[in-house]
Amino acid sequence: MDRFSRRQALVSAASAAGVALIGCRTDPAPVRPTGPTESSDDTRRSGASGARQVEKIIDAMPTRDGAGVKLSRAIGGRALSMLDPFLLLDEFHSDDPNDYAAGFPSHPHRGFETVTYMLEGAMEHRDSVGNAGRLRPGSAQWMTAGRGIVHSEMPKQERGLMWGFQLWVNLPRARKMIEPRYQDIAPDRIPELDRDGARVRVVAGNAFGTTGPITGIDVDPLFLDVTVTRGVRFETPIASEHNAFAFVTDGAVRLGPSRAEVRAGQLAVLGRGDRVLATCDATSGRMVLIAGRPIGEPVARGGPFVMNTEDEIRQAWEDYRSGRLVGGV
Ligand code: FE
1 C-alpha to ligand 1 centroid (Å): 22
Give 52 Cα–ligand 1 centroid separation in angstroms.
32
Average pLDDT of every residue of the chain = 87
Ligand 1 centre from 24 Cα, in Å?
8
Evaluate the omega torsion of the peptide bond into residue 36 and state whether it is cis, within 30 degrees of 0: no
If you measure from the C-alpha of residue 191 to the centroid of ligand 1, how many angstroms do you get, rounded to a whole number? 26
Count other Cβ atoms within 10 Å, centred on residue 260. Answer: 15
How far, in Å, from the CA of 107 to the mean position of ligand 1?
Answer: 6
| 71-126 per-position pLDDT tens digit | 999 999 999 999 999 999 999 999 999 999 999 999 999 999 999 999 999 999 99
C-alpha 106 – ligand 1 centre gap (Å): 8
Query: How would DSSP label each residue in 177-223?
Result: TSPPEEEEE-GGGS-EEEETTEEEEEEESEETTEE-SB---TT--EE
pTM of the complete model = 0.86
Domain 3-20+39-297: give its CATH code: 2.60.120.10
**Separation of CA 110 and ligand 1 centre (Å):** 10
pLDDT, tens digit (0-9, with 9 covering 90-100), for 168-178? 999 999 999 99
**What average pLDDT score do residues 26-33 get?**
39
Longest Cα separation, the chain: 59
Query: Which H/E stretch holds residue 227?
Result: strand 222-229
State the distance from the centre of ligand 1 to the C-alpha of 66, rounded, in angstroms.
Answer: 8
| CA 238 to centroid of ligand 1, rounded, Å | 29
Residue 68 Cα, ligand 1 centroid: separation in angstroms? 14
